[in-house]
Amino acid sequence: MYNILVCDDDREIVEAIEIYLSQEGYRILKAYDGIEALGILEKENINLLIIDVMMPRLDGIRATLKIREKNSIPIIILSAKSEDADKILGLNVGADDYVTKPFSPLELVARVKSQLRRYNQFGGSGQGEQEKIYEVGGLKINDDLKEVTVDGEPVKLTPIEYNILLLLMKNQGRVFSIGQIYESIWNEEAIGADNTVAVHIRHIREKIEINPKDPRYLKVVWGVGYKIEKGI
């Protein structure tokens, strides 16, 4: 059973989310501000967090920043704001997905399932006889161990970042458009996906490149998309 923490100062929204997710067999824990959420995360084994942006004491953005200091669980941000700037802010601080209020409960359930499936794949251990290792230059992914290293040093990626990098590493030299990346990783139609993908690409560069502004591995092909440089 997956444990899902739902954090929103609107108790009716928390109760509604609990009803829909409980029907899917998930165990729901509830918090009503960011401080409560952090306390529960310290005590419980949480598999996914749904958190509102605007809350008293500690809002969702600052709470996500603190959580990402030591935890890579999937985080879905809720907000009544629909502007791209707010969505980018949520992704910038480490959220994996973003749902705008008012939202369809069925859509939220689908996004929860997608994030848990991706996280489970990210955290699972491989059972194959031969390790799945992808390398270029000093960049290496061991997909059985879900480990990324640069020049032998471990790199900590979120599940979304890992899956984007893995897609590109498996296809070194091939250019993927933003739409192709989004549809491959999020498994849904790429509508307005440019900012979402760009934010995650920037985060990956900051973690794997010595100079993210002059990347060695993750290259942009202007007007086309992104690729991992081949044969470095």
Instruction: Give me the sign of the Cα torsion angle 10, 15, 20, 25.
Output: positive
Q: Are 33 and 7 in contact (CB under 8 A)?
A: yes
Query: 126 pLDDT band (50/70/90 cuts)?
Result: very low
Lowest mean pLDDT segment, chosen from 28-37, 117-126, 187-196: 117-126
Tokens describing residue 132: 């799945």
Q: What is the pTM of this model?
A: 0.67
What's the chain's average pLDDT?
88
- The yes-or-no verdict on residue 127 having pLDDT over 60 is no
Res 12: pLDDT: 95
Percent of the chain with pLDDT over 90: 59
Element (H, E) at 51: strand 48-52
Close Cβ partners of 73 (under 8 Å, ≥ 6 residues apart): 46, 47, 48, 49, 67, 119
Q: Give CA–CA dist 192/124, Å, rounded.
A: 31
Q: Which residue has the higher pLDDT, 63 or 131?
A: 63
Res 124: pLDDT: 46
Q: Give CA–CA dist 133/140, Å, rounded.
A: 7
Res 88: pLDDT: 79
Instruction: Give me the sign of the Cα torsion angle 83, 80, 86, 184.
Output: negative
* Residue range 150-164: mean pLDDT, rounded: 91
Query: 61 pLDDT band (50/70/90 cuts)?
Result: very high
CB atoms within 10 A of CB 5: 22
Res 128: pLDDT: 37
Q: Which residue has the higher pLDDT, 80 or 157?
A: 157
Partners of residue 3 on adjacent β-strands:
27
Q: Are 183 and 166 in contact (CB under 8 A)?
A: no
- The yes-or-no verdict on residue 125 having pLDDT over 70 is no
